[in-house]
Amino acid sequence: MSKNDISNTDKLSEDVDQALSKVQDGEKIKLSELPAVPEINKILQAYPDDKKDDIELTRSQVEEIIKNTKISTFGVNNTLPMICKNDECQFKSMCTFYKMGIAPEESPCPDEIMYLDSMVPQLIKDMHVDMENYLEISMVQEYAASLLDKRRAERMIAQEGDVKEVPVSVVQQTGTVIYSEQITPYMEIKDKAARKLSILRKELLATREQRAKYKLTDDRDASTKAADLKQRFEVIKQREDSNKMLEKQNLDDAFEKDINTDA
């Protein structure tokens, strides 16, 4: 898996394109009648056996399901962003999409998707994440989730401040309400997210140190690796040539010994 796979999941495989090539736009077809490519089989396997033959979808529906499956498996854009509430969104005063009248109500928030699209690949690069290591991928996903929590809390603080006045008591004689300043819950959310981010960074570092300890990673450049492989090949070749010469010598000695014995 490449470093862009965690966020770049829009492109369908050639097998899927070929399987759907004869399905016209708007036409529904039974999923079980399509060629048995892995992505389509994966959808069918999510249904009970007695329901599989009844599933009819359009080409666009099949494509959407496959794309969402990829996103859910490798990325974060389909699981972490808030669902857009349009007029009911608590961040609408800060949302460019809402101000432009293009907020996609009931769909994942495009503002948060764009934030993740810019942050996740950078996290993968900065943390030198091994994209074949599910543990490290899941850490990046958790890290992205905590970043979103921190960002949301900071945006609420920007709108409402970090403290608020809370009524704590009433003077019965006068009816005067006594207020006290308290830290908003958004400050607690922000601090909690920051602590989690710190823990995740340490865990990822520890994972990398563990891999390095047991020599499970190879961070050398390509030319160095190639030179090392060539050197290893030469050593192995010399060893094999030496063994062949030794075997030949042993055979020659044995043959000569047999001749002398017969004589």
Instruction: Give per-residue pLDDT as tens, 231-259.
Output: 665 666 676 677 677 777 766 666 565 55
Q: Which domain holds residue 22?
A: 1-73
3-state secondary structure of 5: coil
Distance, in Å, from the CA atom of 108 to the CA atom of 111, rounded to the nearest integer, reads 9
Distance, in Å, from the CA atom of 11 to the CA atom of 15, rounded to the nearest integer, reads 12
Dihedral (CA of 167, 168, 172, 173) sign: negative
Distance, in Å, from the CA atom of 192 to the CA atom of 199, rounded to the nearest integer, reads 11
218 and 141 share a domain? yes
Task: Name the more confident of 137 and 178.
Answer: 137
195 and 166 share a domain? yes
98 and 60 share a domain? no
- Helix residue spans in the chain (DSSP H): 14-20, 38-45, 59-74, 96-99, 110-126, 134-160, 185-213, 222-262
144 and 211 share a domain? yes
10 and 58 share a domain? yes
96 and 17 share a domain? no
Burial grade of 15 (CB within 10 A; 0-12, 13-18, 19 or more): middle
Distance, in Å, from the CA atom of 98 to the CA atom of 101, rounded to the nearest integer, reads 5
3-state secondary structure of 224: helix
Instruction: Please give the average per-residue pLDDT across 183-195, as a whole number.
Output: 88
Total domain count, the chain: 3
Work out the pLDDT band at 164, boundaries 50, 70, 90: low
pLDDT value at residue 62: 78
Distance, in Å, from the CA atom of 144 to the CA atom of 83, rounded to the nearest integer, reads 17
pLDDT tens digits along 92-107: 999 989 998 988 999 8
CB 120 within 8 A of CB 75: yes
- Per the listing, tokens 């249904």 go with 47
137 and 198 share a domain? yes
pLDDT value at residue 37: 78
* Residue 256 resides in a domain: no
Per-chain mean pLDDT for the chain = 75
SS (H, E, C) 144-160: HHHHHHHHHHHHHHHHH
Beta-strand pair 28-30/56-58: antiparallel
pLDDT value at residue 131: 75
pLDDT above 60 (res 221): no
* Amino acid at residue number 229: L
29 and 103 share a domain? no
